[in-house]
Structure 1
């Protein structure tokens, strides 16, 4: 049970209601029905539930995700590999649940590859772009200090400077998201499960 349970829209007022409505609208556009982020009563789950209680943070959180998705150069399969790698390090149940579904539905990653990544292991059959994304994300979350020159050079060669920066932004954003989820003990939605 989450430390901050989801709130139905009918229970919200003022800034919280506004934050709910904005996050729901953006999530509907981005995720559609890929995974559960909203209960039948309209209550948002996942990171959105605690964000409603800090309503000034909600639009910033959502708009940052939208803007990061617009940075050119980073293929979705590499992005999802980095996100899943970050989630595997933090063992954030909801983040892993949601992005397992995104990776399988919207990229060429296989279920077996996704399961291995979320267990913190690099699949032997990852393509070069996903391999670079895995190695870079794992280094950023596990090793203090600057990213190695080797991984920086690999990133830039594969994705260009903007794609490299996009990957780093996504790892940082999902570190924050995982800490928020873990701090609030946000579970996988009722009736759902990780792969």
Structure 2
């Protein structure tokens, strides 16, 4: 059964640009210029068929000043992270699987496939498992992200393994990434935002 456009907002209506105030329109336009091309490259939908934003982007329009700065943070993380794109996507899917966040898992399953992970590996990660194909560093990143998300703490052995694999800077980058997607998943789950049907 397909999800109607109106249901894509979850507990919120999807906002039209014409109904927004000046700050919201500025964010809408910025999302159009930055997020839409990124989502298209990654292979997932960020807007409905009629051009309204879905996923975490729709609720971001409610608080445009804070959301614009969070978007800056996310782009800074992506552009400056010492983590490989595959490791980043393993971490993001580990967080999303703990939260069982439908849209996040949908979007970053697509991004993970674009980063070179197989369909089987992506499916395993989205269900909270560890695929056989992951490298030792990717497995280490998964353990770190999963344990922090699920248990809200890191065992010394897991910490030591991650520090040896990524160094203090890599750990800091991983923690900032985990924190960003904990926020995204919280927004998605609180507003019960679904994933669109995968084409």
Tell me if TM exceeds 0.5: yes
User: What is the total number of aligned residue pairs between the two structures?
Assistant: 190
Residue 167 (structure 1) aligned to one of 158, 174, 181: 174
Query: 2:198 — aligned with what?
Result: 193
Contact 1:23 1:59 in 2 (8 A): no
Q: Supply the distance in 2 between the matched residues of 1:144 and 1:159 (Cα, whole angstroms).
A: 20
**What is the root-mean-square deviation of aligned Cα atoms in Å?**
1.7
Residue of structure 2 aligned with 1:180, choices 176, 179, 187: 187
Q: Is the 1:23–1:58 Cα contact (8 Å) retained in structure 2?
A: no
8 Å CA contact retained: 1:104, 1:114 = yes
Structure 1: gaps (5+ residues): none
Is the aligned partner of 1:11 residue 2:16? Answer: no
Determine the structure 1 residue equivalent to 2:98.
Answer: 89
Give structure 2 stretches of 5+ with no counterpart: 1-6
What's the TM-score once normalised by structure 1's chain length? 0.90
Cα deviation, residue 142, structure 1: 1.2
Question: In the TM superposition, what whole-angstrom CA distance separates every residue of 1:68-124 from its partner, at most 9, and x where no partner exists?
Answer: 11334211111100100100111110000000000001x221111110111111123
CA distance in 2, matches of 1:99, 1:144: 22
Q: How does 1:1-195 map to 2 (within 5 A)?
A: 1=7, 2-33=10-41, 34-105=43-114, 107-145=115-153, 147-189=154-196, 192-193=197-198
Return the structure number with greater helix share: 2
